Amino acid sequence: MGETPPPYDLLHWNGDSANVPGRLYCQLLRLLYLENRLREPGGVRTATGGIDLRFVAAPVYLLAAREDHIVPWQSAYASASLLARVERFVLTESGHVAGIVNPPSARRRGFWRGPPPTTTADAWIAAAQHVGGSWWQDWAGWQAGHAGRWRAAPARPDNAQHPVIEPSPGRYVLEHSDPARRVGQESGTQ
């Protein structure tokens, strides 16, 4: 109706885009989605070698959304077998975005929490407990158990070893990956 819509968490999420070069974006889609190569040891290579998820040493909180049309939750659950330290699997209600964007203050949706994923997806969901509200609080509690002690934030953002280069957020945020747009930016036109 010609008016600015009220703030809405899902629309904000959808509008939050990354400035990624087209070639990189295409490569990521092909490798990670079409060919699912990240599941293969060395299937995705970087400048320093192949990636092997079996050697990820960090503890993992694995999250999936029950109505996700992009990553079916059973597929996300199966990915637990690719990682060495999946300590918790959580299944949220709703879909790909709404299951994730679910702040506790919204008081909507819920999630399932169960044992670490060592059985089939069907066995896991049968044993899991449904919890009302946002999964964010469960994640915060899990994360707190893996964090070090709390300490005060530094009084200044820099020190002698790491001086401030420029004001936040930094000029790189304004740069375009598209060379045509970059040229227009330099000349003062868009």
Are 51 and 61 members of one domain? no
- Residue 66: both structure tokens together: 């029950």
Any domain includes 184:
no
Same domain, 35 and 63: no
63-72, 80-89, 175-184: least confidently modelled range = 175-184
Note the pLDDT tens digit of each residue in 8-36: 666 666 666 777 888 999 999 999 989 99
User: In the block, which residue shows the tokens 């998820």?
Assistant: 53
Identify the domain containing residue 96 by its residue range. 56-146
Q: What integer pLDDT is reported at residue 184 of this predicted model? A: 47
Do 102 and 135 meet the contact criterion of CB atoms below 8 Å apart? yes
User: Has residue 96 got a pLDDT over 80?
Assistant: yes
Pairing of strands 129-132, 110-113: antiparallel
Please indicate, yes or no, if residue 12 is contained in any of the structural domains.
Answer: no
Q: What is the pLDDT of residues 146-172, one digit of tens each?
A: 998 988 988 888 888 889 988 888 887
Answer for the pair 127, 115: CB distance below 8 angstroms, yes or no.
Answer: yes
Please tell me the number of Cα atoms within 13 Å of 142 on its side-chain side: 17
Q: Indicate if the pLDDT at residue 187 is higher than 50.
A: no
Asked if the structure places residue 72 within a domain, the reply is yes
Whether residue 83 contacts residue 60, with contact meaning beta carbons closer than 8 Å, is answered with yes
Structural domain count, the chain: 2
Rounded CA separation 60/76 (Å): 13
Residue 170, SS3 per DSSP: coil
Residue 189 has pLDDT above 60, yes or no: no
Q: Could you tell me which of 96, 88, 141 has the C-alpha nearest to residue 115?
A: 88
> Same structural domain for residues 68 and 119?
yes
Same domain, 84 and 111: yes
Q: Is the domain of 109 the same as that of 135?
A: yes
With a cut of 90, say whether residue 7 has pLDDT above it.
Answer: no
Residues 50 and 100 in one domain: no
71, 121: one domain: yes
Overall pTM > 0.85: no
Nearest to 56 by CA among 86, 90, 91: 86
Say if 183 falls within a structural domain: no
Residue with tokens 């990820």: 56
CB 110 within 8 A of CB 129: no
How does pLDDT run across 38-83, given as a tens digit for each residue?
Answer: 999 999 999 999 999 999 999 999 999 999 998 899 999 999 999 9
pLDDT at 185 over 90: no
Q: The sheet that has 129-132: what strands, in order across it?
A: 60-65, 86-92, 110-113, 129-132
Same domain, 81 and 125: yes
Decide if 132 is inside a domain: yes
pLDDT at 190: 44
| Of 189, 175, 188, 190, the residue nearest 18 (C-alpha) | 175
One domain for residues 80 and 32: no
102-139 per-residue burial string, b: 16 or more CB within 10 A, e: under 16:
beeeeeebbbbbbeebeeebeebbeebeeeeebbbebe
> Is 106 within the bounds of a domain?
yes
